[in-house]
Amino acid sequence: MNTGLTLLILKVARRALLALAVLPFVEVRTAPYGGLSASRT
């Protein structure tokens, strides 16, 4: 396999996992101000 492509996939996957880990905390922190997503109340 191409090492550059593998590194790119790993970097994107790590960033996606980090975003998934951080998102709930951000939503909880912004909940008193209406939250990030309008669907959740």
Q: How many domains does the chain have?
A: 1
Is 36 within 8 Å of 26 (Cβ atoms)? yes
Task: Give the DSSP letter string of 1-41.
Answer: --HHHHHHHHHHHHHHHHHHHHHHHHHHHHGGGT-S-TT--
Whether 28 is covered by a domain: the verdict is yes
pTM of the model: 0.51
Whether 40 is covered by a domain: the verdict is no
Taking the mean position of all CA atoms in its chain, how far away is CA 30? 15
At 27 the pLDDT is: 72
Whether 9 is covered by a domain: the verdict is yes
DSSP type of residue 19: H
Whether 22 is covered by a domain: the verdict is yes
At 32 the pLDDT is: 67
At 39 the pLDDT is: 53
At 8 the pLDDT is: 96
User: For 1-41, how does the pLDDT look when each residue is reduced to its tens digit (9 = 90+)?
Assistant: 689 999 999 999 999 999 888 888 877 776 666 655 555 44
- 1 vs 11, 23, 26, CA distance in Å? 16, 32, 37
- Residue numbers of the domain that contains 28: 3-33
At 29 the pLDDT is: 72
